[in-house]
């Protein structure tokens, strides 16, 4: 008898029991999604939920985006960090219902440069939050929105 | 099952320039339908990209990422012909994995 198969069966039985008992919510296994961080509404709260405190403003972070976005449903952003040892880049929209839009982890060998598109409910400050060498830094830029992208 | 992603990866000097276009509704959970009922949130939560078994980017997304998300990034340490594999998972637990071969510049 293949012993690893036995172990596997036993393991899944235990897992099944744990699920039935409500110990493990189905779904919690596949995503290590930081719900607390995505529920935050302000920059200090978001930084706290991401495991930091008191971010410092930095001019080594650049945000490239249109100054006026005609359509808030699709606003392109390029975030670049020149800070050494950049580990994380996050995009925060101050006036969206939840401030955190996206959080990217940058492993070694990947450039601290991301380009993506986000939704903006209204004209707002956009904050690029960067974690470099264990510390948090940010830069912000106001983007005007003529047509909102949240709600309809 | 969701539609496939469009992935383009090509060399840019010693870096690999990756562009990904995903097909996803990215519903925020803020909108209401014609009956005034809230349309439940449905969005991609996790994205990861690997090349030769090495994670080159991972991301956590909220519902504020635009519909049919576009993502571009650059990394080093790969050569033309290597495969890049991108996976996303949404808040329904739906998953999609696609791969592309890195092209010469």
User: Which pLDDT score, from 0 to 100, does residue A131 have?
Assistant: 94
For residue A24, name the pLDDT band (cuts at 50, 70, 90): very low
The model's pTM: 0.81
Dig out the tokens for A97 from the structure: 């219902």
Residue B61 is predicted with a pLDDT of 94
Beta strands in chain A (DSSP E): 56-57, 61-64, 68-69, 75-81, 86-93, 100-105, 110-118, 124-132, 135-145
DSSP state of A99: S
Residues of chain A with CATH 2.60.40.2470: 35-145
Residue A83 has what pLDDT?
Answer: 94
Evaluate if residue A28 carries a pLDDT over 50: no
pLDDT band at B30 (very low <50, low <70, confident <90, very high): confident
Q: How many Å is the Cα radius of gyration of chain A?
A: 20
The domain spans of chain B are: 6-101
Give the list of residues 6+ apart from residue B98 with CB closer than 8 angstroms, or none.
B4, B5, B7, B85, B86
Share of chain B above pLDDT 70, in %: 99
Topology of domain A35-145, CATH: Immunoglobulin-like (2.60.40)
Cα(A130)–Cα(A146) distance, integer angstroms: 28
Per-residue pLDDT tens over the stretch A40-65: 989 999 999 998 888 999 999 999 99
Tokens linked to B23: 């097909």
The whole-angstrom separation of Cα B11 and Cα B18 is: 9
Residue A31 has pLDDT above 70, yes or no: no
Helix (H), strand (E) at residue A37: helix A35-38
Is residue A62 within 8 Å of residue A140, measured between CB atoms?
A: no
Kind of pairing between the strands at A86-93 and B15-21: unpaired
pLDDT confidence of residue A25: 45
Q: Cβ contact (<8 Å) for A101 and B54?
A: no
Q: For domain B6-101, is the CATH number 3.55.30.10?
A: no
Tell me whether residues A107 and B69 touch, CB distance under 8 A: no
- Best residue of A102, A106, A121, A151 to probe chain B, by most B CBs closer than 10 Å: A102
* Cβ neighbours of B86 in A, within 8 Å: none
Interval A2-20: pLDDT, tens: 556 656 555 555 555 444 4
In tens, the pLDDT along B47-96 reads 999 999 899 999 999 999 999 999 999 999 999 999 999 999 999 989 99
């Amino acid at each position: 008898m293949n012993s690893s198969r036995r172990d596997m069966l036993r393991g899944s039985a235990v897992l099944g029991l744990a699920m039935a008992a409500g110990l493990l919510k189905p779904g919690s296994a596949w995503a290590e999604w930081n719900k607390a961080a995505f529920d935050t509404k302000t920059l200090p709260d978001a930084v706290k939920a991401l495991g930091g405190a008191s971010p410092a403003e930095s001019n080594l972070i650049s945000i490239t985006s249109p100054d006026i976005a005609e359509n808030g449903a699709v606003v392109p952003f390029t975030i670049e960090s020149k800070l050494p040892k950049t580990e994380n880049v996050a995009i925060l929209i101050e006036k969206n219902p939840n401030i955190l839009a996206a959080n990217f982890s940058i492993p070694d060998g990947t450039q601290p440069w991301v380009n993506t598109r986000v939704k903006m409910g209204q004209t707002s400050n956009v904050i690029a939050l960067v974690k470099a060498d264990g510390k948090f830094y940010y830069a912000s830029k106001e983007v005007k929105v003529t047509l909102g992208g949240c709600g309809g | 099952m969701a539609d496939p992603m469009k992935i383009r990866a090509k060399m840019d000097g010693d870096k690999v320039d990756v562009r990904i276009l995903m097909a996803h509704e990215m519903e925020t959970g803020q909108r209401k339908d014609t009956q005034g009922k809230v349309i439940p949130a449905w969005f991609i939560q996790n994205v990861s990209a690997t090349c030769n078994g090495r994670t080159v980017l991972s991301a956590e997304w909220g519902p504020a990422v635009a519909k049919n998300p576009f993502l571009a990034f650059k990394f080093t340490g790969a050569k033309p012909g290597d495969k890049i594999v991108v996976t996303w998972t949404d808040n329904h637990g739906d998953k999609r994995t696609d791969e592309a071969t890195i092209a010469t510049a």
